[in-house]
Amino acid sequence: MADAQRFDIAIIGAGIAGSALATALGDHGLTIALVEAQSLAPPELPAACDLQHFDPRVSAITPRSKALLEGLGAWPAIEAYRQCAYRHMTVWDAGGTGGIEFDCADVNATSLGHIVENRAIVSALLERVCAAPDITAFGGSRLLACERDDNAARVRVELEGGTALEVDLLVAADGALSRVRDMMGFSTREWDYGHRAIVTTVEVEKSHRDTCWQRFLPSGPLAFLPLPGAGDRHYCSIVWSLQEGLVDNLLQLGDAEFCRELETAFESRLGRVNACARRFAFPLRQRHAIDYVQAGVALVADAAHTIHPLAGQGINLGLADVGVLAEEILAGRAQGTSPGQLQLLRRYQRRRKGENLLMMAAMDGFKALFEQDALPVRWLRNAGMRGVSRMGPLKQQLIRRAMGVG
């Protein structure tokens, strides 16, 4: 291996989680290497607001995540580009009459969250990364190998092209298929949901009324997420989770036929689905690392946990990981503790694992409950939704939990 460059911390992956962590740590006197297989230039953000120019990947950003992005100085750029504040949520069951409505007024808030295109978040964060004094960017540079050095004090990292790094802390922010997690021998519990999610953008006839819509079908949940409109043109981002066997047929349909299927599945709540952009499909797998840390190594966000997108919580949990890990590293630094110290990293794990597990269990429960077609279960869940709708405090509690402030 070539002579290694020394850093306090190497972060592998500059998606939302990795670029947020780099930004959080980039101005505190720690030397940071940010390694990303793709370019680290902030992605171009198209000005055109039409079907073909929305990022097919969007996230429902909770108020807690928004506060974190504000703290990192990234929110103003996101806001100045485009986002859609959603003030209501409507959830209903295909197999009955039950439904539940959430409104920001129920919890005296001005919105429940914001739908933001992923590339807008990454672009805003990478602008901050570029301005940070302590970050060395290794863009277009894939991690090839990592291992603890001989006396186990540091971690050595090898990048494509022969660059070698030696660091006190290696952070895996390299996503669901994390190489760092595999190479450092972390175990995971995982299972396939048997679902894939079709993701696209559609133009609909009627205004979405700043509402996130979700219909639970026996084949999986279908979400229409509100996007900014242009004049009298109304757009939504679609996440349609479906049993594996149904996906290929829908992907192969022509646009007009796909729009008709979508409109039927959505009970035409927003009138006609007039057009759709290119469709993508993502396999859905639940995955949770048994440990998030070892001495000198930490997993964050999708590298530590992936979750069904039905409640749009994945990156929100990931950003909460980032916030806590940065806090622990900076508190340690104030006391002269190495960022790779196991005790410090265990504090991060203790503070995050419980909440992540709880959310993952809740999502699994929801999914299982809504897949049941037996009449008694359908009756109970519809009665349950109507009941929750009438119970003010329980409903408020649910809303606050979903907003990340409960």
Ligand X SMILES: Cc1cc2nc3c(=O)[nH]c(=O)nc-3n(C[C@H](O)[C@H](O)[C@H](O)COP(=O)(O)OP(=O)(O)OC[C@H]3O[C@@H](n4cnc5c(N)ncnc54)[C@H](O)[C@@H]3O)c2cc1C
Out of 302, 347, 353, 399, point to the residue binding ligand X (CB under 6 A).
Answer: 302
Provide the residue type at 160 as one letter. Answer: E
Residue-wise burial string across 293-319, b where 16 or more C-beta atoms lie within 10 A, e elsewhere: bbbbbbbbbbbbbbbbbbbbbbbbbbb
> Does 199 contact ligand X by CB under 6 A?
yes
Q: Cβ 67 to ligand X, closest distance in Å?
A: 15
> Does 18 contact ligand X by CB under 6 A?
yes
Phi, psi of 329 (to 5 degrees): -65, -45
Out of 14, 165, 273, 345, point to the residue binding ligand X (CB under 6 A).
Answer: 14
Quick one: DSSP state of residue 89?
Answer: E
> Does 142 contact ligand X by CB under 6 A?
yes
Reading the block at residue 345, the tokens are: 């990293």
Please give the size of the binding site for ligand X, defined by CB under 6 A. Answer: 32
Q: In sequence order, which residues have a C-beta less than 8 Å from that of residue 217 and are 6 or more positions away?
A: 94, 265
Q: CB under 6 A: which stretch of 35-43, 69-77, 337-345, 392-400 binds ligand X? A: 35-43
Cα distance between residue 202 and residue 279, in whole Å: 10
> Does 286 contact ligand X by CB under 6 A?
no
> Does 72 contact ligand X by CB under 6 A?
no
Reading the block at residue 17, the tokens are: 């989680």
Q: CB under 6 A: which stretch of 3-11, 213-221, 312-320, 380-388 binds ligand X? A: 312-320
In the complex with ligand X, the residue whose CB is nearer, 33 or 107, is 33
> Does 226 contact ligand X by CB under 6 A?
no
> Does 67 contact ligand X by CB under 6 A?
no
Q: CB under 6 A: which stretch of 29-37, 39-47, 344-352, 396-404 binds ligand X? A: 29-37
Phi, psi of 116 (to 5 degrees): -130, 140
Tokens 């306090």 correspond to 8
Q: Cβ 316 to ligand X, closest distance in Å?
A: 4
Show contacts with ligand X in window 313-342 (CB under 6 A). Answer: 313-316, 318
> Does 221 contact ligand X by CB under 6 A?
no
> Does 24 contact ligand X by CB under 6 A?
no
Specify whether the CB–CB gap between 197 and 221 falls below 8 A: no
In the complex with ligand X, the residue whose CB is nearer, 155 or 301, is 301
Q: In 3D, which of 320, 342, 316, 344 has the Cα closest to residue 330?
A: 344
Residue, CB closest to ligand X: 15
As to burial, measured by CB atoms within 10 angstroms (0-12 exposed, 13-18 middle, 19+ buried), residue 391 is: exposed
In the complex with ligand X, the residue whose CB is nearer, 310 or 378, is 310
Q: In sequence order, which residues have a C-beta less than 8 Å from that of residue 304 and are 6 or more positions away?
A: 172, 181, 288, 289, 292, 321, 352, 356
Question: Three-state DSSP class for 189?
Answer: strand
Q: Which residues bind ligand X (CB under 6 A)?
A: 12-18, 35-38, 59-60, 142-143, 173-175, 179, 197, 199, 239, 282, 301-302, 309, 312-316, 318
